[in-house]
């Protein structure tokens, strides 16, 4: 992905890599959502590829935060119209997430309650919770109510990832930080 702004068209190049050769790439986990009758697109090697609005939003936000990067995303890397290819690729998911230098887990676009929750989870601990709490359990619930959290396969992807990072809009939190924060909150309730 190139390093354009948030609203610029997404342009990418597609390359074939052998996982045994340990290529450098990131991976993206997200919930597809609905493919619109006239889908959003990315320009890949000069060809328009259809993507869901959620995939496009994730890629745009990652591009804005990271600049140019190499990423594995199913909607681009797997021919979604070829059942044979999809059934061949599915068993490789563990290798794909394990081989990625970082795996991004997209919770969705940022909204004020989600942003407050992400800010809180990125720095929570005893002092933050008791003395500087600028969020509420409702904000945390709003973040954790997203569709990604409700899908069991997403946790399998997290378990397979070497370096998982939660992403909501422009906010990024390493998985271990967010999971420790949620455990901390769970002990308080």
Length of the chain counted residue by residue: 189
Q: What is the pLDDT of residues 159-169, one digit of tens each?
A: 899 999 999 99
* Mean pLDDT score of the chain: 84
Report which listed range, 114-118, 131-135, 184-188, is most confident. Answer: 114-118
**Is residue 5, in this structure, part of any structural domain at all?**
no
**Is residue 4, in this structure, part of any structural domain at all?**
no
Distance CA 166, CA 186 (A): 19
Q: Place 2 in a pLDDT band, splitting at 50, 70 and 90.
A: low
Q: What is the pLDDT of residues 8-22, one digit of tens each?
A: 788 988 899 999 999
Q: Which domain holds residue 53?
A: 11-188
Angle at 72 between CA 67 and CA 74, to 5 degrees: 130
**Is residue 1, in this structure, part of any structural domain at all?**
no
Q: What is the pLDDT of residues 57-80, one digit of tens each?
A: 999 999 999 998 999 999 888 888
pLDDT the model gives residue 51: 92
Domain count, the chain: 1
Q: 19 - beta bridge partners?
A: none
pLDDT the model gives residue 126: 47
């Amino acid at each position: 992905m190139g390093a354009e702004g948030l609203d610029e068209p997404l342009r990418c190049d597609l390359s074939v890599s052998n996982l045994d050769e340990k290529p450098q790439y990131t991976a993206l986990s997200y919930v597809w959502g609905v493919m619109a009758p006239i889908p959003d697109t990315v320009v890949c090697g000069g060809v328009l590829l259809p993507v869901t609005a959620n995939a496009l939003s994730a890629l745009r936000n990652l591009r804005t935060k990271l600049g140019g990067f190499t990423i594995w995303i199913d909607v681009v890397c797997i021919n979604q119209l070829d059942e044979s290819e999809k059934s061949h690729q599915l068993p490789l998911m563990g290798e794909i997430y394990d081989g990625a230098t970082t795996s991004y887990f997209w919770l969705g676009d940022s909204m004020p309650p989600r942003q407050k929750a992400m800010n809180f989870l990125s720095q929570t601990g005893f002092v933050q919770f008791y003395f500087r709490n600028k969020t509420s359990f409702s904000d945390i619930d709003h973040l954790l109510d997203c569709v990604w959290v409700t899908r069991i396969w997403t946790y399998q992807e997290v378990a397979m990832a070497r370096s998982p990072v939660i992403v909501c809009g422009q906010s990024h939190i390493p998985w271990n930080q967010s999971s420790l924060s949620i455990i901390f909150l769970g002990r308080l309730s």
